[in-house]
Amino acid sequence: MNGPSATMQAVLDRLAAEDAGLGDPTLLPPQTGRALAALTNLRWSADLPAVAEARSVMAAGLPARLVVPENDDGTRAILHVHGGGWAFCSAATHEGAARRLANACGCPVLTVEYRLAPEHPYPAGLEDVLAAWAARDPARRWSIAGDSAGANLALAAMLRLIGQGAELPGTGLLFYGVYGADFDTPSYRAHEFGPGLTRAKMQRYWDWYAPEAERGHPELAPLLAADDALAALPPLYLNAAGLDPLRSETEALAARLAGLGRSDRFDLVEGVVHGFMQMGPLLPEARDAFARAGEAFQRKPA
């Protein structure tokens, strides 16, 4: 099995040196762990890519961050759902990612501050995402994007909208998402101890977000959604990290979608860890991934 790319290994070595002694935020009380996760993730919002506008706004009564690229085409926008195990991170930790996404897609990106577990378990975060979706600017055609737990929430939101017969996003951009709660997949076995995300960390995130008895619901584990619901999804762009415990979940989702006769794009990025798209200031694979997502987005009908 291939290990990290040379550029990924250089980033991992740097992080090991910078974070020595900081500990695992999932083993701390939630507020303390959240502060530590913010500390270590805010570095990815240094050296921010230039945009035409970046400002704090409110969306459905929730704090949010809006970034508008220079190449805004004036017709589309993206609701961006940040990752962090449903428990950590924010619009601030993901502003670099939001700006790269906006520049790649040529439209504004709105990152919403949804309620976080364990204080606010399922369905609180999902309800906030749906509220932000309902409050979107009707003058534009909106899509939805998310990474990791944010991709889970984005896909769950689309499944809820399908069940309601509501208007769907034009496109879904889903990056190394959480789509199931099976901790014995091939990628969980291969990358149980990392690098980066581990099996034990994901189990703790899940314990904070939803009791085991509830995890059979498709809004929690979208891989369990019915074929007709998956078939009704808008065009999707999926990617997965090669060295990620969650890799098998995206591979399984991509296979199910293909089996339904859909033509969604799936990119497997070898040699990188979970969360690699956060690492744009240091990692060329992250910048390339945003470019590929932008290409896929631009090819989809508005």
Does pTM surpass 0.85? yes
Among 75, 52, 77, 46, which residue's Cα sits nearest to residue 64?
77
Rounded Cα distance between 171 and 149, Å, is 18
Residue 300 has pLDDT above 60, yes or no: no
pLDDT digits (tens, 9 = 90+) for 215-227: 999 999 999 999 9
Q: How far is CA 13 from CA 9, 44, 241, in A?
A: 6, 16, 18
Please give the pLDDT value at position 302: 41
Please give the pLDDT value at position 2: 84
pLDDT digits (tens, 9 = 90+) for 123-161: 999 999 999 999 999 999 999 999 999 999 999 999 999
Please give the pLDDT value at position 105: 98
pLDDT digits (tens, 9 = 90+) for 228-263: 999 999 999 999 999 999 999 999 999 999 999 999
Residues facing 273 on adjacent strands: 243
Instruction: Give me the chain's average pLDDT, please.
Output: 97
Q: What is the 3-state secondary structure (H, E, C) of 170-228?
A: CCEEEECCCCCCCCCCHHHHHCCCCCCCCHHHHHHHHHHHCCHHHCCCCCCCHHHCCHH
Domain ranges for the chain, please list them: 6-18+25-46+65-95+107-299
Query: Which class in CATH covers the domain with range 6-18+25-46+65-95+107-299?
Result: alpha beta
Helix ranges (H only) for the chain are: 6-18, 30-41, 95-105, 124-134, 149-164, 186-190, 199-209, 227-231, 247-259, 284-299
